Structure 1
Amino acid sequence: MTDSPKGRARSADKRRRLTTAAARVLHEQGVERTTLADIANAAGVPVGNVYYYFRTKDDLVLAALAEHSAHLGDLTDALDRLPDPRDRLKGLVEGWIEQRETAARHGCPTGTLAVELDKRADGVLDAQAGAVVRRLLDWAAQQFRALGLADADDLAVTLVSSYQGMSVLTNALRDPGIMAREGARLLRWLDSLPAPGRAG
């Protein structure tokens, strides 16, 4: 019975498995090619149970975007424990470089979803994807401001657009070396920025 503590725990576990699977499968296959059965199979949940938790595929896409946002939050929370904002930014780039094989196969999880969802007419899901990207931009801008740089918002756009560009090329050419090389270039760029107190 779902009203018991064990039943509620099982229900929460199924929902969580479906959300995690949705984020992974939608990244790997894209929205249009993914069926509810694909996500159910990846989650190890009977396909009929999916409708108990998510009425439509769009609901699962929203759940996947929430998963990406939560993952980003966990990542930035971990990076925020580093005392130096430059090290936080470099840690972000190093994480991108570590994901180069995944990027070569599937691209950026949020970026590829944002591009695909933008083609749809409703404008709801793509706005949610944009919100995840905005969250990353805002966090990066905070780090540049902490370095005392006046153009922090522009620098955040430079950083994130560089990532999206190298992610697209890495995926299009199936070449993880692009992510490694361009990531190393971003690390050198971050090292070249003025230290706190010396920004002009």
Structure 2
Amino acid sequence: MTYSDAVEAVPESRPDRPKAKRGGKRERLAAAAARVLHEQGMEKTTIADIARAADVPLGNVYYYFKTKDQLVEAAIDSHAQHLAGLIDALDALPTPQDRLKALVSGWVDQRELTARYGCPTGSLASELDKRDDGLDQSLATVMRVLLDWAEQQFLALGRTEDARELAVALIASYQGVSLLTNTFRDPEMMASEGRRLERWIDSLA
């Protein structure tokens, strides 16, 4: 998540954190949908793929989700929950500078995954943009949460006149370097941009 994306720096995905308990079938299917759609894209992903990744019998999937589009909606909801948890964790840090830099650090931690598959929310947004069923706006709502949160951090840094512009610049930088990292399969691009963003945040504090 996003994470942003961003959604992209999921705390429980880090190796130094305990794994979450196994959830119910609906929750497992939603999480699996988010993961498989990220790895394979919408066109290549089937309901059977998601069922297999969630360790749920295919026949049971239809009790919870009748169509693949409903699974895409569930994946978007999973991204939203994921982002909410991330923001809660970031908000526990003492200063807006710390929070913004921790967000960037989380993105960098996911650089190997980004090199293989791109940004989870950015990739899905690109695919949904080609449809006219409104799912793109559902994902935009999730991404706006991260953008609004970043704006609040810049406001807390005293940037009252350009906080929104700075928030857009931060998220745009991440999305851009995610594309380059994935295109060139080069995780160091993400690491290098992360270091630059941390210096930039320090310069604003």
Q: TM-score, normalised by structure 2?
A: 0.87
2: distance between equivalents of 1:161 and 1:105?
20
Task: Choose which of 136, 154, 157 in structure 1 pairs with 2:146.
Answer: 136
Could you say which residue in structure 1 is the equivalent of 2:183? 172
Could you say which residue in structure 1 is the equivalent of 2:99? 88
Instruction: Give matches, 1:114-129, under 5 Å.
Output: 114-122=125-133, 124-129=134-139
Could you say which residue in structure 1 is the equivalent of 2:77? 66
Segments of 4+ moved more than 3 angstroms: none
What residue ranges of structure 2 are gaps of 5+ in the alignment? 1-22
Task: Describe the superposition over 1:40-75 as per-residue Cα deviations: whole angstroms up to 9, x where unpaired.
Answer: 001111111111101111110111011111111111
1: distance between equivalents of 2:192 and 2:127?
27
Could you say which residue in structure 2 is the equivalent of 1:25? 36
CA root-mean-square deviation: 0.9
Q: Which of 1 and 2 has higher RCO (CA within 8 Å, sep 6+)?
A: 2
One-letter identity of the residue aligned with 1:136 = L
Instruction: Give matches, 1:151-166, under 5 Å.
Output: 151-166=162-177
Deviation at 1:120, TM superposition (A): 1.1
1: distance between equivalents of 2:167 and 2:77?
22
Task: Choose which of 140, 144, 159 in structure 2 pairs with 1:149.
Answer: 159
Identity over aligned pairs, percent: 66
* SS state at 1:59 partner: helix
* SS state at 2:24 partner: helix
Deviation at 1:127, TM superposition (A): 0.5
Residues matched between the structures, number:
182
One-letter identity of the residue aligned with 2:126 = V
One-letter identity of the residue aligned with 1:97 = V
* SS state at 1:74 partner: helix
One-letter identity of the residue aligned with 2:171 = V
What residue ranges of structure 1 are gaps of 5+ in the alignment? 1-11, 196-200
Could you say which residue in structure 1 is the equivalent of 2:14? none
* SS state at 2:28 partner: helix
Larger Rg belongs to: 1
Deviation at 1:121, TM superposition (A): 2.5
Q: TM-score, normalised by structure 1?
A: 0.89
